[in-house]
Chains A and B, each alone.
Chain A
Amino acid sequence: MADLEQRLVELGSWLDLPPAPGLAPRVRARIEVGERLPPGRRLGRTLAIALAVFLVAVGSAFAVPGSRDAILGWLGLQGATVERVVSLPAVPETTDLALGRPLSLDEARRQVGFPILVPEALGDPDRVYVEGTGRTARVSLLYEPDERLRETHPGVGLLLTQFRGDLASEMIGKLVAGGTDAREVTVDGGKGIWISGPAHEFFYRRPDGEIAVGTLRLAGNTLLWEHGNLLLRIESDLLLDGSLAVARSVQ
């Protein structure tokens, strides 16, 4: 094998690699004019901005309309139609997270119509699940509990969910029970929301306008943020700093 390795090194010296261009002047010029590439620009030049709508309920009534309006305004959603709820839907007790079909990461990449991002801070996930296919697929990367990730659900330390969020086709809502802290954060220039506190439930607005109640995932803290034309969500027991560190390391 050592011989093979040596031959590969030698082969490398014979490869016809094109000469590297001088990049410094162009890079400098682009920086000087203040160019900022949006995260994941290459996922599609025409960025569809993912939107998040949060309905925040405390107890059985809305107690923080100001916060909600501020969040909507900050997300550029002023004027969006938002359904108010009087009380949270019953949250089913379940041990099945219904994350979709288990696949290898490579297989998931082949089946999903967008690049799957993996947080460098955590490395490869222990398990990968995909629900749906192509561009509308939802991918869940599951990390088992370890010394860094406390168990929030049997066998689950952290769940990173990602899917295409599209201004025209999808909105996402989140119901939050009492005692919840929701705040605005920024992840790599992308807008995000941090929610910590008791259990919550997601629902989605589908392209036809119908609201579908999503499956309960975990009852931990949630960081949801835009990354290019994707919407990502981390659910774990990590606090804000830890969640942000994971979020900022996605590649």
Chain B
Amino acid sequence: MEGRPLESADAAWESALVERARRGDLRAYEDLVEEYQTIAFRTAYLITGSAADAEEAAQDAFVRAHAALGRFRPGAPFRPWLLTIVANEARNRRRSARRRAELVLRAAEAPPTGAAAPAPEAALLQSEERRELLALVNGLSDDERLVIGCRYFLGFSELETAAVIGRRPGTVKSRSARALARLSERMGGSDG
């Protein structure tokens, strides 16, 4: 699961892998890639809006991160460090493509994994609500949308979100509050 705080055992496992990778163990680094390729790819996708660009950005980011392992501070959390590199790669691609990423809602007939299938009437309403909400999110500025995407869609912590947007955690907090207020306002207060 992405976004959850690392349990101490996971943290120790991650630390050990990073340390082995730093010492040149490529197999250990491969394990790290496998562990984090999904969040790396999704982060890049949120920024670029293109699966092909996201894949390239994530792949380049892992190659770049490997070369930079010598500068990684032992014991520091690996995810935010990696996410900084991923986001940077993705942003550079988006800039060169001059494209704005658009998020696409999953087909309503495919409920999220593990969710109970809603009644048909309810599903329709929910589907419309989701589309409306997503349209509002897509209507936010790039910066606000990215913060919302990281915090709520990818479940990142403030620290991890800060790494993605390249700002202090305090900026994540204020930008997130601003985006939520804007969404709430555009929903016409119907949200309650």
Listed in ascending order, the chain A residues whose CB lies under 8 Å from chain B are 1, 3-5, 7-18, 20-24, 26-28, 30-32, 35-37, 40-43, 106, 115, 118, 120, 123-124, 188-189, 248, 251
Contact = CB atoms under 8 A, between A and B. Distances in A.
A115 B92 contact: yes
Closest A-B pairs by Cβ, 9 of them: A12-B153, A42-B92, A13-B112, A8-B152, A16-B106, A20-B41, A18-B51, A20-B38, A123-B168
A115 B47 CA distance: 15
B168 to A, nearest CB: 4
Interface string B53-95: 0110011101110111001000000000000100111011101
A5 B133 CA distance: 11
B163 to A, nearest CB: 8
Interface residues of B, number: 65
A3 B113 CA distance: 21
A106 B143 contact: yes
Interface of B: 26, 29-30, 33-34, 37-38, 40-42, 45, 51, 54-55, 58-60, 62-64, 66-68, 71, 84, 87-89, 91-93, 95-96, 103-108, 111-113, 115, 129-130, 133-134, 137, 143, 148-149, 152-155, 166-168, 171, 180, 183-184, 187, 191-192
Q: Name which of A5, A11, A188 has the most chain B CB atoms within 10 A of its CB.
A: A11
B87 to A, nearest CB: 8
A98 to B, nearest CB: 28
B67 A23 contact: no
Contacts of B64: 37
B33 to A, nearest CB: 4
A27 B63 contact: yes
